[in-house]
């Protein structure tokens, strides 16, 4: 084993493998920082360039790029409140509030310190676990995978916002949305209402970017403020050092989160989706004072960032040792192994052990180099938090919409993004947590398959009590809910600064009513499905969702009555002003105008035109600034998205 580790280190540091590794790191930093791309997209772009390369340089390039996207994705999460990738969702909850308080440099310092540590520790644990990991992975069957996903959803639902019921309803809504399109078990289309775009399901990227991105950009535009709500009083160097000291101060939390990330990453299909949330939940539940979480607690950044970097190494274990990819990214890496004539399995742990360890060392080196580079760049990136919001909004919207376009290259992506942007704004203003909905969308398809297989193989209920790992997970779910209820009774949930913590019942009440109607309609539609397997999972969701939503609606009605003591009209006016409905409606009108001009003239005209018009009309800037900004956006659209990524722009009515 030691000889294999040393041989792998020599292979990883030999030229040209080291050069390709550094090139992969630079590409990964860029790809991870751009919302909508992420490691899987980067691997798909890089894979053709490795066809003529030797195995070690090829995997150095691919892993150098893939390993660091979970580090650089924190830039968008902290600075904009937009997940750079799925793995950085939990970072938003405390990272973005820190940026609003002018402490972005502190958040970056902690993030990059624990990211490097998590990536290195994950790789070392990978090396130590390779010989003994088979029994651990094979101990998990479909019941365990299903219950682990339920645990992840429960943790997100109860840890986000002031209302446990709203968090769970949001998660159930996300699960129901994953049933749109063809059912995998029967091939029967569900809930698509005659729209062919929905037959393959609702793509995730437009939902994520719309649900999180548009409400935050709307907030910047409407309030005419910078990301930071305080003056730039913190020296970036001191902020980075403070964040690094925070990482050292909470070193045991960092260590536990990295271990969690590595071993949860080994579970095929679940690791990337739930690892940061389980680490975040662990940070909350192990903390003495929980009152700051969701409002800028540095522990809420440290735990998920340590875990999501460590999970990349853990995800390699089932891929290399058993040929079981745990995510889209590792599936592409598995394809690269096959292309190079390598067979995943025992050979990778015996004959090709030096090559396997070269992958481990590539992850170690990539994480260290990426953390060092981002520490240097963070001195400058943190200044974005103090740039006027009107200079940030048009450029980020252009990147956000093109990141959305990556999903299917269809205008349906933009409509989904816009629709979920409205829903995200509504949820934010009404005190509904958004993270449970997103995680449910990530896990829904996997949960349905595992749920159906579990009931078919093990019966309806017996597996809940005769499988030890399932029993442990059930106990963890019960404990999570119990701790959440106790925390809410303690009276800490008073601030409206955190995710899902706002209190505006006149805005929440219509959403509760709409969701109740939607669930009732879905129940009626599901009754018409011919195959029992087609309706099984939707019915299981709706049986829980309908009474929970009715409970939320009843609470909202009671809160509306309490707030309307001085008259409903006066209370409504106050709710509208608090939610800033009118200026937000104007912003949605601008987004609709972008879509309309795109149909007419295409993205290469619509987006630069929007940038210029926004800066002049809404931002009050001169035409010189507007034209230079619009020209820069046009160059990025044409060069990066059009030429480098090879995306097809929407055919316009005027120009084809």
189: DSSP letter: E
b/e sequence 502-528, b meaning 16+ C-beta within 10 Å: bbbbbbbbebbeebbeebeebbeebee
496: DSSP letter: S
Average pLDDT over residues 385-405: 85
Percent of the chain with pLDDT over 70: 86
Cβ contact 178:441 at 8 Å:
yes
Q: How far apart are CA 587 and CA 425, in angstroms?
A: 12
Per-residue model confidence as pLDDT tens digits over 248-266:
898 899 888 888 888 777 7
pLDDT given at position 144: 82
35: DSSP letter: T
Average pLDDT over residues 15-19: 85
Helix axes 299-322, 328-339, angle to 10 degrees: 30
Residues in Cβ contact with 49 at an 8 Å cutoff, skipping those fewer than 6 apart: 61
Residue bearing tokens 């069957």 = 141
Per-residue model confidence as pLDDT tens digits over 506-565:
888 899 999 999 999 999 888 888 667 788 889 889 999 999 999 999 998 888 888 776
Residue bearing tokens 């005190």 = 431
Helices and strands, number each (H, E), in the chain: 29, 2
Does residue 152 have a pLDDT over 90?
A: no
Does residue 502 have a pLDDT over 80?
A: no
Q: How far apart are CA 372 and CA 375, in angstroms?
A: 5
353: DSSP letter: H
**Could you check whether the bond before residue 440 is cis, i.e. omega within 30 degrees of 0?**
no
- Least confident among 50-54, 160-164, 383-387, 426-430: 160-164
pLDDT given at position 546: 94
Confidence bin at 618 (pLDDT 50/70/90): confident
> Which run of H or E residues covers position 181?
strand 181-182
Q: How far apart are the first and last CA of the chain?
A: 60
Does residue 492 have a pLDDT over 60?
A: no
Q: How many CB atoms lie within 10 A of CB 181?
A: 18
Does residue 598 have a pLDDT over 70?
A: yes
Residue bearing tokens 């994705």 = 73
Token digits for 503?
Answer: 């209190």
Residues counted in the chain: 656
> Which run of H or E residues covers position 13?
helix 2-13
Per-residue model confidence as pLDDT tens digits over 581-596:
888 888 899 999 999 9
Q: How far apart are CA 465 and CA 469, in angstroms?
A: 9
Write down the pTM of the prediction: 0.80
Q: How far apart are CA 404 and CA 379, in angstroms?
A: 29
Confidence bin at 135 (pLDDT 50/70/90): low
pLDDT given at position 356: 78
Q: How far apart are CA 614 and CA 30, in angstroms?
A: 26
Q: How far apart are CA 495 and CA 293, in angstroms?
A: 11
Q: How many CB atoms lie within 10 A of CB 588?
A: 15
Residue bearing tokens 């998660």 = 171
Confidence bin at 493 (pLDDT 50/70/90): very low
267: left (phi over 0), alpha (psi -120 to 50) or beta: beta
| φ, ψ at 182 (rounded to 5°) | -65, 135
Q: Is 190 helix (H, G, I), strand (E, B) or coil?
A: strand
Higher pLDDT, 29 or 418: 418
User: Could you write out the DSSP letters of every residue in 411-477?
Assistant: HHHHHHHHHHHHHHHHHHHHT--SHHHHHHHHHHHHHHHHHHHHHHHH-SSGGGTSSHHHHHHHHHH
Cβ contact 109:244 at 8 Å:
yes
CA-based nearest residue to 285, from 306, 257, 264, 249:
257
Cβ contact 91:116 at 8 Å:
no
Average pLDDT over residues 404-420: 88
> Which run of H or E residues covers position 151?
helix 142-159
CA-based nearest residue to 20, from 46, 48, 1, 44:
46
Helix axes 55-72, 39-46, angle to 10 degrees: 150
Cβ contact 266:318 at 8 Å:
yes
């Amino acid at each position: 084993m030691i000889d294999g580790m040393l041989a792998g280190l020599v292979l990883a540091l030999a030229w040209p493998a080291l050069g390709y590794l550094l090139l992969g790191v630079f590409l990964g930093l860029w790809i991870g920082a751009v919302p909508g791309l992420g490691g899987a997209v980067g691997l798909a772009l890089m894979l053709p360039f490795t066809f003529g390369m030797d195995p070690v340089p090829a995997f150095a390039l691919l892993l150098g790029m893939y390993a660091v996207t979970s580090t650089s994705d924190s830039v968008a999460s902290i600075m904009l409140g937009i997940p750079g990738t799925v793995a950085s969702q939990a970072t938003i909850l405390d990272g973005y509030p820190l940026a609003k308080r002018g402490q972005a440099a502190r958040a970056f310092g902690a993030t990059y310190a624990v990211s490097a540590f998590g990536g290195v520790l994950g790789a070392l644990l990978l090396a130590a676990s390779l010989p003994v990991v088979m029994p651990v992975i094979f101990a998990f069957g479909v019941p365990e995978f299903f219950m682990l996903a339920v645990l992840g959803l429960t943790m997100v639902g109860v840890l986000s916002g002031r209302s446990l019921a709203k968090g769970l309803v949001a998660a159930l809504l996300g699960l129901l949305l994953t049933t749109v399109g063809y059912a995998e078990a029967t091939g029967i289309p569900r809930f698509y209402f005659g729209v062919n775009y929905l037959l393959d399901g609702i793509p995730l990227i437009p939902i994520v970017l719309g649900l999180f991105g548009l409400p935050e950009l709307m907030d910047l535009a409407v309030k005419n403020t910078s990301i930071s709500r305080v003056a730039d009083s913190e020296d970036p160097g001191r902020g980075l050092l403070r964040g690094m000291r925070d990482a050292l101060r909470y070193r045991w939390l960092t260590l536990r989160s990295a271990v969690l990330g590595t071993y949860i990453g080994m579970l095929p299909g679940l690791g990337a989706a739930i690892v940061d949330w389980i680490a975040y939940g662990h940070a909350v539940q192990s903390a003495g004072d929980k009152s700051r979480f969701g409002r800028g607690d540095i522990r809420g950044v440290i735990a998920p960032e340590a875990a999501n970097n460590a999970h990349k190494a853990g995800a390699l274990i089932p891929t290399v040792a058993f040929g079981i990819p745990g995510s889209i990214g590792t599936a592409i890496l598995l394809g690269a192994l096959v292309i190079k004539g390598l067979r995943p399995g025992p050979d990778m742990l015996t004959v090709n052990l030096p090559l396997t360890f070269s992958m481990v060392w590539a992850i170690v080196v990539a994480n260290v180099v990426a953390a060092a580079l981002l520490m240097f760049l963070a001195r400058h990136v943190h200044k974005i938090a103090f740039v006027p919001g009107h200079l940030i909004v048009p450029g980020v919207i252009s990147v956000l919409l093109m990141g959305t376009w990556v999903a299917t290259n269809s205008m349906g992506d933009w409509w989904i993004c816009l629709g979920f942007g409205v829903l995200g704004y509504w949820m934010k203003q009404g005190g509904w947590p958004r993270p449970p909905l997103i995680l449910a969308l990530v896990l829904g398809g996997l949960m349905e398959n595992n749920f159906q297989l579990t009931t078919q193989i093990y019966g309806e209920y017996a597996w809940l009590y005769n499988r030890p790992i399932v029993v442990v997970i059930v106990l963890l779910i019960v404990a999570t809910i119990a701790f959440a209820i106790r925390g809410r009774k303690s009276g800490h949930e008073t601030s409206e600064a955190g995710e899902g913590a706002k209190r505006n019942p006149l805005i929440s009440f219509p959403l509760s009513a709409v969701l109740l109607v939607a669930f009732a309609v879905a129940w009626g539609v599901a009754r018409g499905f011919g195959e029992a397997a087609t309706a099984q999972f939707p019915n299981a969701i709706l049986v829980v969702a309908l009474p929970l939503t009715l409970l939320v609606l009843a609470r909202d009605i009671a809160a509306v009555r309490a707030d309307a003591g001085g008259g409903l009209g006066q209370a409504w006016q106050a709710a509208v002003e608090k939610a800033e409905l009118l200026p937000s409606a104007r912003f949605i009108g601008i987004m609709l105008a972008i879509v309309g001009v795109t149909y007419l003239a295409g993205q290469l005209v619509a987006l630069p035109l929007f940038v210029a018009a926004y800066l002049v009309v809404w931002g009050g800037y001169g035409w010189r600034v507007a034209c230079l900004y619009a020209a820069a956006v046009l160059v990025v659209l044409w060069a990066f998205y059009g030429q480098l990524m090879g995306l097809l722009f929407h055919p316009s009515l005027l120009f084809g």
